[in-house]
Structure 1
Amino acid sequence: MLTKASKIAIAAVGAVVVIGGASFGYVASQSHDKDKTTTATVTKTAKSSAKSDKKSTGMDLTAISKGDFSSVEGTWKSLDGKSTFTFNKNGLVSHVYNGSAATNDQEVYLTKENDSTPEARMINGYLSTTVGPKGGLPEDTISATNLDFVPKGVKHEGMTDTEDHLFSGQSIGDGSVFTKVVESKDEKAVNQLSTKKKQALVLLGIPNQFQTDYGSAVTVSDLLNKKTKAYVENDASAQTNEVGHYVDTTFKQIKIVPHTNMDIHDNKVTLEGVPSDVADHNRAESHGVYTIDGDTITYRTQGNRVEGDPDENLRRGQQIGTNSLSKLYKQYKGTTKLKEMMALLD
Structure 2
Amino acid sequence: MRPIVSAVRRVGLLSGLVSHTVTLANHPTAPDPTHWVLTLSCPDRPGIVHAVAGLLAEHRGNITESQQFGDELSGLFFMRVQFTASVARDELTTALDALAPRFGLQWTLDVAGRPVRTLVLGSTAAHCLNDLAFRQRSENLPIDIVAVVSNHTVLEPLAQFYGIPFHHVPVTAATKAAAEARLLQLVEELDVELVVLARYMQILSDDLCRELSGRVINIHHSFLPSFKGARPYAQAHDRGVKLIGATAHYVTGDLDEGPIIEQDVERVDHSRGVEDLVALGQDVERRALARAVRWHAEHRVLLDGHRTIVFR
TM-score, normalization: structure 1?
0.21
Q: Computing the radius of gyration over CA atoms, which structure comes out larger, 1 or 2?
A: 2
Counting helix residues as a fraction of each chain, which structure ranks higher? 2
Compute the TM-score of the two structures, normalised by the length of structure 2: 0.23
